Amino acid sequence: MNDELSRLIALQEFDTELTGFDREAERLRQEQAARELAAKDREAQAGLCRARAAELEQSRETLRAGGAEAAERIKERQVKMMQVQTSREHQALLKEIEDAKKQIRDTEEQMLQAEEDAEAELKRAAELEQLCKGELKLLAEEAKKTEEAVRQIAARRAEVEASRSQLAKEISAAQLKRYDKLLVKRKGLAVVRIIAGVCQGCFMTVPPQQFNLVRKGGEICSCPACQRILYYKADPNQPETMAPVRSQLEDLYEAEEDDEDELTE
Ligand SMILES: [Zn+2]
């Protein structure tokens, strides 16, 4: 195989490895960030529960004041009852007293409900805070682990990066420039294998003549569709010819079926 092509293949392998390191480090960082976010979210939820409990306590105070005021009103109307002359006035006062009594009953119910709700919110808040405490401890440990893993990745990355730089020096400037451009334009894949005449970068079938050139490996060939640099590597599990077209495929399946028949007989 063309030496320059061999070097380009090796360069691609380094770059794929480098991308892998970057992805792995990014994944670890994102996982840690997600854990931190979840813990913060729980903390915020606990805060909301406590705020709702405080609101409920406030509404109980308002209800209590309303109830006290209704009780005052009853006393006052009862005193007035002694002084009224007409039955109409008497009826009106009785109605006011009944209304006030009903208000007190309702208020008591509402206060009880608010108390129950507030207790539930406080209980939930306490649960969340307990969870948070455990989580924060774990989070700190995880953060350390993540940091260490990212550090190790960076160290391995630096080694590969150095080897890559060394290799890059052995490639002609023009070829390297073209490779680097392709690497950026083609999402980190500048050199790809060709299998059965199909470019493994864009999965288009290259013309047979070009496939033969790539197979020979004497020169650097590009995929006509995606411009990636192509190389051929023999694989006992892969056919060495072009991918069969549809009608040939059908023939192939039929032939396989016949073989099976022979085997079972
Ligand atoms: Zn291609």
Q: Kindly report, residue by residue over 199-247, the tens digit of the pLDDT.
A: 999 999 999 999 999 999 999 999 999 999 999 998 777 556 665 544 4
| 3-state secondary structure at position 194 | strand
Residue 241's pLDDT is 61
Q: What is the dihedral of CA 226, 232, 234, 235, to 10 degrees?
A: -20
State the distance from the centre of ligand 1 to the C-alpha of 218, rounded, in angstroms.
Answer: 19
Bridge-based pairing state of the strands 229-232 and 191-195: parallel
41-55, 95-109, 216-230, 238-252: least confident range: 238-252
Average pLDDT over residues 158-178: 97
Taking the centre of ligand 1 as the mean of its atom positions, its distance from the CA of residue 107, in whole angstroms, is: 77
Q: Which residue has better confidence, 242 or 77? A: 77
Judge whether 70 and 104 are in contact, CB under 8 Å: yes
Spatial contact of 189 and 230, defined as CB atoms under 8 Å apart: no
What does the pLDDT look like over 256-265, one tens digit per residue? 444 444 433 3
Residue 211 CA to ligand 1 centre (angstroms): 12
Measured in angstroms, how far is the CA atom of residue 5 from the centroid of ligand 1?
16
Does 101 score more than 80 pLDDT?
A: yes
**CA distances from residue 146 to 28, 34, 249 in whole angstroms, order as listed:** 6, 13, 50
The distance between the two most distant Cα atoms of the chain, rounded to a whole number of Å, is 123
Quickly tell me which residue has 């020979």 as its tokens.
216
State residue 254's pLDDT score.
Answer: 45
Distance, CA 209 to ligand 1 centroid (Å)?
Answer: 15
Strands 229-232 and 198-199: unpaired
For the chain, domains (ranges, CATH) are 3-168 (1.10.287.1490), 173-263 (1.10.287.1490)
Cα(193) to centroid(ligand 1), Å: 10
| Four-CA torsion 57, 63, 66, 70, nearest 10 degrees | -130
* 11 CA to centre of ligand 1 in angstroms: 18
250 — pLDDT class (breaks 50, 70, 90): very low
Nearest to residue 197, comparing CAs of 239, 250, 149, 142? 239
Phi, psi of 238 (to 5 degrees): -115, 140
The tokens of 14 are what? Answer: 């380094």
- Position 86 scores a pLDDT of 92
**Over 80: is that where the pLDDT of 174 sits?**
yes
Integer Cα distance of 9 and 230 in angstroms:
9
- Distance between CA atoms of residues 73 and 119, nearest Å: 31
pLDDT surpassing 80 at residue 253: no
The tokens for 126 are: 């306490």
pLDDT tens for each residue of 8-22: 999 999 999 999 999
> Mean pLDDT for the chain?
90
CA of 222 to the centre of ligand 1 (A): 8
Taking the centre of ligand 1 as the mean of its atom positions, its distance from the CA of residue 57, in whole angstroms, is 69
pTM above 0.75, yes or no: no
pLDDT band at 1 (very low <50, low <70, confident <90, very high): confident
What residues contact residue 204 under an 8 Å CB cut-off, 6+ apart?
A: 198, 223, 224, 225, 226
* Token digits of residue 189: 């894949």
Q: Sorting pLDDT into bands at 50, 70 and 90, what band is 255? A: very low
DSSP 205: B
Q: Are 232 and 187 in contact (CB under 8 A)?
A: no
| Span from the CA of 181 to the centroid of ligand 1 (angstroms) | 15
